[in-house]
Amino acid sequence: MAVSLREYRARIKSTESMKKITRAMELIAASRIIKAQQRAQAAAPYARELTRAVSAVATYSNVDHPLTKEEENPTRAAVLVITSDRGLAGAYSSSVLKEAERLAERLRAEGKEIDLYISGRKGEAYYRFRQRPIVQSWTGFSDQPSYDVAAEVGRTLIDSFVKDPGEEGDVDEVHVVYTRFRSMLTQEPTAIRLLPLEVVEADDAPQGEGHSDRTGDGEVLPLYEFEPSPEAVLDALLPQYVQSRIFYALLQAAASELAARQKAMKSATDNADELIKKYTRVANQARQAGITQEISEIVGGVNALADAQTEA
Q: How many domains does the chain have?
A: 2
Q: Both 240 and 301 in a single domain?
A: no
State whether 221 and 149 are in the same domain: yes
Residue 148 and residue 281 in one domain = no
Mean pLDDT, contiguous 10-residue spans, the chain (312 residues): 71 90 90 86 81 71 72 89 91 94 94 94 94 93 90 92 81 93 88 76 40 41 65 81 91 92 92 90 82 81 76 66
Residue-range definition of the domain harbouring residue 206: 24-265
User: Same structural domain for residues 224 and 82?
Assistant: yes
Query: Does one domain contain both 212 and 286?
Result: no
**149 in the same domain as 11:** no
Question: 230, 247, 265 — which closes off a domain?
Answer: 265
Indicate if 257 and 228 belong to the same structural domain.
Answer: yes
Same domain, 178 and 295: no
Residue 274, pLDDT score? 92
Q: Residue 134 belongs to a domain with what CATH number?
A: 3.40.1380.10
Is 279 found in the same domain as 145? no
pLDDT at residue 312, rounded to an integer: 62
What pLDDT sits at residue 62? 67
Residues 156 and 248 in one domain: yes
Residues 119 and 6 occupy one common structural domain: no
DSSP string, the chain: -HHHHHHHHHHHHHHHHHHHHHHHHHHHHHHHHHHHHHHHHHHHHHHHHHHHHHHHHHHS-----GGGPPPSS--EEEEEEE--SS--STTHHHHHHHHHHHHHHHHHHTT-EEEEEEESHHHHHHHHHTT---SEEE-S-TTS--HHHHHHHHHHHHHHHSSPTTSTT--SEEEEEEEEE--SS-EEEEEEEEES-----TTTSPTTTS---B-TTSPBP-----SS-HHHHHHHHHHHHHHHHHHHHHHHHHHHHHHHHHHHHHHHHHHHHHHHHHHHHHHHHHHHHHHHHHHHHHHHHHHHHHHHHHH-
pTM of the model: 0.79
Q: 222 and 184, same structural domain?
A: yes
